[in-house]
A = this chain, B = another copy of it.
Amino acid sequence: MDITRIEAAATRLQGHARRTPLLSSPFLDEIAGRRLLVKAECLQHTGSFKFRGAWSALSALDPDVRAKGVIAFSSGNHAQGIAAAAKGFGVPAVIIMPADAPAAKVAGTKGLGAEVVPYDREKEDRDALGAKLAAERGLTLIKPFDEPEVIAGQGSCGLEIAEQAAEEGVTEADVLVCCGGGGLTSGIALALEAKAPGLRVRPAEPEGFDDVKRSLAAGTIQRNPALGGNICDAIVTPQPGNITFPIMHRLCGPGLAVTEEEALKAMQLAARHLKIIAEPGGAVALAAVLFRKDEIAGDAVICTVSGGNVDPAILARALALEV
């Protein structure tokens, strides 16, 4: 994995993925205690950064292979990314999705023309199920994060951050990235290493599901104790990837972890001051910026809002909080 692979992915994404804006608000700057720039990936096609990696992976396939279709397992955002990319290429997509995935994500995936196969997050092995279906139907499995072309696609977000931050005059800052398996985090870290070495990536996670934070601290891959039961469903993964972890270990600063309530409050503040919808898992980096500011140094900070696929009831709950 290196910058040439990310740049190649970015070229394939041109005209297909959106160049999302880098937003800001003086009201959030005040809460953060420093200048804050927010990369609004919730405005990406399908409502999350996952479309980048999906399009990158599908566009890298041999056309004959791609034509047979693709399969993916995902709590929802990777699913929608794959479904939309497959639709764009006119090929079938099968998505293995946890039975407890948010209704908005299931509906979004089906609405994009994919076949959804539900599984039990606690009892079934999604990898085995995916491999079996792929073999039976001749589908290509597109992993959600531990796949070089997916990481390269997510890295295109990092190329944009490097350019947009430079336009804003920001060349030295921590870049907090909402982190599940580490595809976006490692992709952005690789892009910034090459294009903006003064910007340092730090993963943000939910408390109790901070496998990447603990893995970085330990220097070896650590697992989460549970695989569900957190509102930040999009970034609850068993452990960092075998490809993503070494990249993160080499390039990232210490991880940060926030509570569910902090993620919800960040959702409200993103709505009020940036006019964007964040989902809980897409709001953890913003939450860390706003509520863990003592763990951050420097006059400026950058964060991702990685996705916005949230059920309206959870958004309403976030809006009702005292902030």
Contacts and interface: CB of A to CB of B under 8 A. Distances in A.
A43 interface: yes
B308 A319 contact: no
A26 B18 CA distance: 15
A106 to B, nearest CB: 13
User: Number of copies of this chain in the oligomer?
Assistant: 2
A127 B315 CA distance: 40
Interface in A306-322: 308, 312-313, 315-316, 319-320
Nearest to A112: B26
Interface centre among A20, A84, A272, A275 (most CB of B within 10 A): A275
A47 interface: yes
A104 interface: yes
Contacts of A320: 312, 316
A33 interface: no
A277 B278 CA distance: 11
Nearest to A275: B308
A271 to B, nearest CB: 5
Contacts of A40: 43
Nearest to A18: B21
Interface in A291-314: 308, 312-313
Contacts of A272: 104, 312
Interface centre among A42, A272, A273 (most CB of B within 10 A): A272
A84 B26 CA distance: 10
Contact of A21 (B26, B43, B84): B43
A134 interface: no
B312 A268 contact: yes
Interface centre among A47, A274, A277, A313 (most CB of B within 10 A): A277
A283 to B, nearest CB: 12
A275 B47 CA distance: 7
Given A21-B20, A111-B26, A275 B42 contact: yes
Contacts of A20: 21
A268 B312 CA distance: 8
Given A20-B21, A26-B112, A111-B27, A275 B315 contact: no
A13 B126 CA distance: 51
A43 B268 CA distance: 16
A308 B313 CA distance: 19
A276 interface: yes
A108 B18 CA distance: 29
